[in-house]
Structure 1
Amino acid sequence: MIRGITFEVPNKRGYILRDILAPIDVSAFNWLVKDEEAYYVVDGELGEQLFSHQILHLEGQLLQKKIEEQTSFVIFADLKAFPKGAVPEELETYKDFNESDCEVVLLIVDGTFATVYCKDNLLSETLFYHAKRKGYLDVAYITDENDERTGLTVW
């Protein structure tokens, strides 16, 4: 069974979160943002943090605005999408994810290694082909057989 996808993104400033999440209607979810390290880019330099708290609950429209309003540099990102009306909760393992209301998990480590877990196999396929079209490297499906991740966190 497909759990999601993994790939490498360019370790550079840009609209990485917007680009990765493009196939997803970000505004349709409530998001839990946790343990991230990402900065706005101002005049070519790192500016204020993209997200200002260690754990943050964001409505999808606000997240959409944040990832589209200006370029950023993402070092670590841990974003989890929950349906509107659901209360975002911390998830530590794939089992937690599978048993929760959470629909999508995006993890970025060291500014390069991206993992997206998704309960919807059609969306996983869409994300896979989107990542290929964007030119991301080493795009691969995560399955029950090959998933080596022990936790759903970036630290």
Structure 2
Amino acid sequence: MIRIRGITFEIPNGYGKYLYEILSDLELNGFNWRIGGGESYKKENNTLGVPLFPSLCTVNGETLSEIISKEEYYLIFVDLKAFENKLDVKEIATYQEFVDSECQFILLVVDSSYVTIYSKNQNIIQQLFSKGVIAGYKNIEYITDENDRNTTLIAF
């Protein structure tokens, strides 16, 4: 039986609230989110402004939701990892580390457009796949044991 690990797809390369659109149906508040190294900026006067995220920190779901829902931003590299318990928050660099950890969900954005999501919850993967199809994201596909090409689960 083929196991589904996650999904991958492309979002438009431009300003928007793509993280909010992707994550809005998930229960963000139940998690502590590790914000890894990355590069994303708030839109200010139609150009890149201040960084969207504080660097290398952990925020609760309410704070993450507030950050990604308020105003438009430009994503270059994003590394978000969700943990149920703040004490378990740590860097996850490989799929096996993800499996062996308390991390429940990973969202990576690379080169402004390429989104990769891993989740231990198969219902979330199915929900996000359907949502991506409806939203018209390009090249959406499941990540399985057979086709997973990622050697690292760090965006930047």
TM range (shorter): over 0.9
Q: 1:87 Cα deviation (Å)?
A: 2.7
Deviations 1:28-73 (A, max 9, x none): 11000111101010121111001122x1111111000000111110
- The unaligned stretches of length 5 or more in structure 2 are none
Match of 1:80 in 2: 81
Question: Once the two structures are aligned, what percentage of the paired residues are identical?
Answer: 38
Match of 2:47 in 1: 45
Q: What's the C-alpha RMSD, in Å, of the aligned pairs?
A: 1.0
* Secondary structure of 1:103 counterpart: strand
Q: Describe how 1:57-68 pairs up with structure 2 within 5 A.
A: 57-68=58-69
Letter in 2 for 1:64: S
Q: Give the TM-score normalised by structure 1.
A: 0.96
Off by >2 Å, runs of 4+ in structure 1: 84-87
Instruction: Please give the alpha-carbon distance, in whole angstroms, between the structure 2 residues aligned to 1:26 and 1:125.
Output: 17
Instruction: Please give the alpha-carbon distance, in whole angstroms, between the structure 2 residues aligned to 1:52 and 1:145.
Output: 35
Q: Is the 8 A contact 1:86 1:101 kept in 2?
A: no
Match of 2:10 in 1: 8
Instruction: Please give the alpha-carbon distance, in whole angstroms, between the structure 1 residues aligned to 2:85 and 2:130.
Output: 27
Match of 2:95 in 1: 94
* Secondary structure of 1:64 counterpart: helix
* Secondary structure of 2:88 counterpart: coil
Match of 1:130 in 2: 131
Match of 2:26 in 1: 24
- The unaligned stretches of length 5 or more in structure 1 are none
Q: Give the TM-score normalised by structure 2.
A: 0.95
Deviations 1:117-141 (A, max 9, x none): 0101111000100111111001000
Q: Is the 8 A contact 1:3 1:144 kept in 2?
A: yes
Instruction: Please give the alpha-carbon distance, in whole angstroms, between the structure 2 residues aligned to 1:16 and 1:75.
Output: 12
Instruction: Please give the alpha-carbon distance, in whole angstroms, between the structure 2 residues aligned to 1:79 and 1:47.
Output: 21
38-47 vs 59-68, greater mean Cα deviation: 38-47
Aligned length: 154
Instruction: Please give the alpha-carbon distance, in whole angstroms, between the structure 2 residues aligned to 1:3 and 1:23.
Output: 19
Instruction: Please give the alpha-carbon distance, in whole angstroms, between the structure 1 residues aligned to 2:131 and 2:109.
Output: 17
Q: 1:26 Cα deviation (Å)?
A: 1.3
